[in-house]
Amino acid sequence: MQHFKTLSAYLEYIELPPPEHPMLSVLLATGAHFLPCPKESSPPISNDCYSISLKKKVKGNLNYGRTKYDFTNGALIFIAPRQVLQWDSSVVFEQKGFSINFHEDFLKGTELATQIKKYGFFSYTVNEALHLSPKEEKQIESIVKNIEIEYHNNQDAFSKEIIISQLSTLLKYANRFYERQFLNRKELSNNLLNQFNQQLDAYFESGQLQEKGVPSIEQLAQKMAVSQRYLSDTLKKETGHTTTENLHLYLIDEAKNILLEPNNSISEVAYKLGFEYPQYFSRLFKKKVGISPTEYREKFKMN
């Protein structure tokens, strides 16, 4: 797989105009002006750059990781360094919107270099892109316009600081709009929670829990065709618990049932639930329930 270490090399490969700054490129469609068309197709590639773009698709599919995404309504997409991209000639984009690409080193020595790693949406796959309302789209485009103006200005001692500040503002708005999207898509959130529990049920009933151990969050997310970070963020909004916490709650609930079956030692219960070390199971159980597995069993017998 081809990997591009510089922004210039990446833009040249996808047949977009060379950047005016060695580490930053800003393309914005305004009025009658359209975005330049990128390369028609590409096998899997990666680079060392961040990308933020507003895209509207006329037809075709774009692969980002393992997932295909419907761009019919347009979406704000965030891509982190070393993500894998692939597309073919069936993809036709409406050449409106914008595209900002910047090398990860552009942020070095700034507060945003640390902040950007906390934004989970850079780890989302394309089907989890941010869908903007017309009002939100105008807000984002006004920020991008400010970045574009500064990008085309003669560079001075303040240029980078101003652009970084505007990028930070853009990402803060995106974070707010993602919060809105989570709240407005309760049906999707509930569906993900149901899928999560169904995956655990199937894994448990197939005997894989005892045979292969507790499934990783990455495994579960892959089965559900979502990114690990998006799954965790969505479940956090819906249940108040992270993906790992929801997994632990599921295991504890199963443990309560198995503990009440006759002739099961605490070690046997732990192994049935995929725990390699019974001591870890006992600590987790006490942390979540407030009493040890043995105390739980005795308490139930007394009742």
pLDDT in tens, 23-54: 999 998 876 566 777 778 889 999 999 999 98
Q: Which of 58-72, 131-145, 251-265 has the lowest mean pLDDT?
A: 58-72
DSSP per residue, 5-19: -SHHHHHHHTT-PPP
Q: Ranked by mean pLDDT, which of 101-105, 202-206, 240-244, 253-257 comes out on top?
A: 101-105
Cα 129–Cα 127–Cα 209 angle in degrees, nearest 5: 120
pLDDT confidence of residue 187 = 54
Q: Where in the chain is the domain with CATH 1.10.10.60?
A: 187-302
Nearest to 196 by CA among 146, 230, 155, 164: 230
- pTM higher than 0.95: no
Tokens of 141: 């485009």
Whether 61 shows a pLDDT value over 60: the answer reads no
- Residue whose pair of structure tokens reads 């347009």 in the numeric block: 74
Q: Where in the chain is the domain with CATH 2.60.120?
A: 2-131
Q: What is the mean pLDDT of residues 263-281?
A: 89
DSSP per residue, 238-270: HHSS-HHHHHHHHHHHHHHHHHTSTT--HHHHH
Q: Which of 52-56, 124-128, 210-214, 252-256 has the lowest mean pLDDT?
A: 124-128
CATH topology for the 2-131 domain = Jelly Rolls (2.60.120)
Query: The domain at 187-302 falls in which architecture?
Result: Orthogonal Bundle (1.10)
- Within the chain, residue ranges assigned H as helices are 7-13, 111-115, 134-152, 159-184, 186-205, 208-212, 217-224, 228-239, 243-259, 266-272, 278-289, 293-302
Q: Could you report the per-residue pLDDT of 209-222, keeping only the tens digit for each? A: 888 888 899 999 98
Whether 67 shows a pLDDT value over 50: the answer reads no
Q: Answer for the pair 35, 97: CB distance below 8 angstroms, yes or no.
A: yes
**Which H or E run contains 95?**
strand 92-103
